[in-house]
Amino acid sequence: MSVSFKLPRLRMIAAGFAVATSIAIAAPALAQADNVLASARASGIVGEQADGFVGVVAGATASADVRARVEQLNIRRRAAYTERATQRGVTVNEMAAAVACEIFAGRIAVGEKYRGEDNQWRQRTASAAVVMPSFCPPA
Amino acid sequence: MQNLRSGPRGWLYAAAALGASLSAAACIPVRLQAPDEPIEINLNVNIRQEVIVRLEGEARDLLQDNPDLF
């Protein structure tokens, strides 16, 4: 009687331990993906775009690995945009543009390149602030 | 009724008639039918600022909830 009472609880504990372990194993892989893209971003190979997605800078040489990571990142971003856009009753483009405005306003570091509304790649420098898209509300 | 060909206003009528015929000859035929192709409006650039303003909070939440994506 006491054994059958404890077993379900043990199963729950074991299951929780397995889940935690799998997350711990997966986490470093995710962190590595960030590092590869982070260094590509810092070296001007990839950059944020006014449409809310990440792109390979024109003329830059990006490895197949970087390109694949960019594509995966954009797929996940689009899923997040779509989910929120559906909730708010707006188009995916509008949700993505709103996020792009937030990114352009504060998440493009000095030295990074970004693609503006006119599809031109620019670099944010100490003397050149980020050119905001026209559809972004004034700060 | 005054003779249209003679008199002080005769040349005026002649000039008006000449002008009317010239402009009629230079008339470009006007197409009164609607064009075949539907009018295409490119909305890519036309994202309204009001929508973006309303989504500001949502955008910030999205950024905070998905730190690995940004």
- Best probe of the A interface among B58, B63, B65, B68, by most A CBs < 10 A, is B58
Q: Tell me the HSE value of A43 on the side-chain side, using a 13 A CA sphere.
A: 11
CB contact under 8 A, B63 and A77: no
Q: Which of A92-101, B8-17, B59-68 has the lowest mean pLDDT?
A: B8-17
On average, the pLDDT of chain B sits at: 75
Percent of chain A with pLDDT over 90: 73
Sheet (strand A113-115) strand order: A54-56, A46-49, A113-115, A121-123
On average, the pLDDT of chain A sits at: 88
Its ipTM equals 0.75
DSSP B4-67: SSSSTTHHHHHHHHHHHHHHHHTPPPPP-SPPSSPPP---SS---HHHHHHTHHHHHHHHHH-G
Whether the model pTM is above 0.90: no
Under a CB-based contact definition with an 8 Å cutoff, are residues A84 and A95 in contact?
Answer: yes
Q: What is the pLDDT of residue A60?
A: 96
Q: What is the pLDDT of residue B41?
A: 58
